[in-house]
Amino acid sequence: MLRFRLKELIQDQSFKEGRRVTLGEVSEATGIHKTTLSRLQNPTGYNTTTETINLLCKYFQCEVGDLVVYIND
């Protein structure tokens, strides 16, 4: 199963900037609907597109492996 580390990346971004970064802010900056981002935070996983992954990696300036991890179920 793939798990998205979106919550962790938002927390890291908030720490770096010294302020709270919201899901709405990420949505606005990436063009990804807030509902999609919310589903990605769900621990049970969510199917998404490579475009969404690309936009999130661009926003957080990270590698795919920083955003998505494989968990053997």
DSSP states along 43-67: TT-----HHHHHHHHHHHT--HHHH
Reported as half-sphere exposure (CB side, CA atoms, 13 A), residue 61 has a value of 3
Could you give the CA distance from residue 30 to residue 55 in angstroms, rounded to a whole number? 6
Confidence label for 42 from pLDDT (cuts 50, 70 and 90) = confident
> What is the model's pTM?
0.88
Could you count the other beta carbons within 10 Å of the beta carbon of residue 69? 13
Percent of the chain topping pLDDT 90: 79
Q: What is the mean pLDDT of residues 40-51?
A: 84
Asked if pLDDT for residue 17 goes beyond 80, the answer is: yes
Provide the 8-state DSSP code for 18.
T
